[in-house]
Amino acid sequence: MENIQEQIGILVKLQEVDGQIYKLKDTLQKKPAEKEALKEEFAQKGDRLKQREEELKAAQLKRKDKELDLEGKEKDIKKYQAQLLQLKTNKEYVTMQREIEGLKADKSALEDSLLELMDVIDRLKVEVQKEKENFAAEEKKLKEETVKIDQEVKQIEEKVAGLEGQRGQISVNVDKTLLSKYERILKAKEGLALVPAVGESCGGCHQTLPPQVINEMQMKDRIVTCDFCARLLYWPEQKDE
Ligand SMILES: [Zn+2]
C-alpha cells in the first residue's frame, strides 16, 4: 500500500458514513415491530368493544327469556282464573286460588327483574356506543401513526440511499484488500470497523492497548488491528495534550 496515512484518512471518512448508515438501518429494522405493536394495541381495544357487545347481546337474550316466562305466567293466571269459575268444591276453589296467588307473586318478581334488566341493557347500550366511538378514534389514530411510520421509513431510506452514494465515492479510493477487510469487520462488528485510540485504549472495545501496538499506530507504516476486538485502529491526528 502506497500511503497508509492517506488510506487511513479515507477510511475515517468512510467509517463516518458507514456509522450513519448502520444507525439508520438499525432504526429501519425496528419500524415493522413498531407498526406491529400499534396493531396489537388496536386489536386489544377492538376486543373490549366485542366484549361489551356480547354482554349486551346476552342481556337482551335474557330479557327475551324473561318476557316469554312472564307471558307464560300471565296465560296460566288467565287459564286458572277461567277454571276457577267451573270448580265445584270449596277445597278445589281454595287450592286453585292459592295457585293463582303463587303465579301472581312469580309474575310480580319477574316484572321487577325485567325492569332491572332493562336498566342494565340501557347502561350497556351507552357503553357499547362509547366503546364504538373510542374504537373509531383509535382506528383513526392507528392509521395516522402507521402513515407517520411509513413516511419515516421513506425518509430514512432516502437518507441511506444518499449516504450509500457518498460511500461509493469514498470507497473507490480505498485499497481493495484493505476495503474488503474493513467491510468484513464492519459487518461483524455492528457498523464499527475503524476506531481511533482513545488515550491508550481501543476506541471500540475500550481495552488497554499494549505499548508496541501504540508505537505501531504512531509510526503509520501499516494498519494496526486491535487484538481484543479485531477492529482496525488508528492514531488520532490531533491530540489536545
Ligand atoms: Zn478493540
pLDDT digits (tens, 9 = 90+) for 166-206: 999 999 999 999 999 999 999 999 999 999 999 999 999 99
The answer to whether residue 223 sits within a structural domain is no
pLDDT at 241: 45
Q: What are phi and psi of 232, to 5 degrees?
A: -80, 140
Centroid of ligand 1 to alpha carbon of 176 (angstroms): 23
SS3 of residue 2 by DSSP: coil
Centroid of ligand 1 to alpha carbon of 236 (angstroms): 15
The answer to whether residue 90 sits within a structural domain is yes
| Segment 94-122, tens digit of pLDDT | 999 999 999 999 999 999 999 999 999 99
The average pLDDT across 152-162 equals 98
What is the rounded CA–CA span in Å between residue 67 and residue 127?
Answer: 24
Domain span at 120:
28-151
Centroid of ligand 1 to alpha carbon of 209 (angstroms): 8
Residue 2 confidence class, pLDDT cut points 50, 70, 90: low
Overall number of domains in the chain: 1
SS3 of residue 87 by DSSP: coil
Q: Is the dihedral of CA 211, 217, 221, 224 positive or negative?
A: positive
Centroid of ligand 1 to alpha carbon of 199 (angstroms): 13
* 144, containing H or E segment: helix 90-171
The answer to whether residue 19 sits within a structural domain is no
The answer to whether residue 157 sits within a structural domain is no
The average pLDDT across 59-87 equals 95
What is the rounded CA–CA span in Å between residue 223 and residue 140?
Answer: 56
The answer to whether residue 4 sits within a structural domain is no
Centroid of ligand 1 to alpha carbon of 205 (angstroms): 4
Q: What is the CATH number of the domain that holds 60?
A: 1.10.287.1490
CA 210 and chain centroid, separation: 47
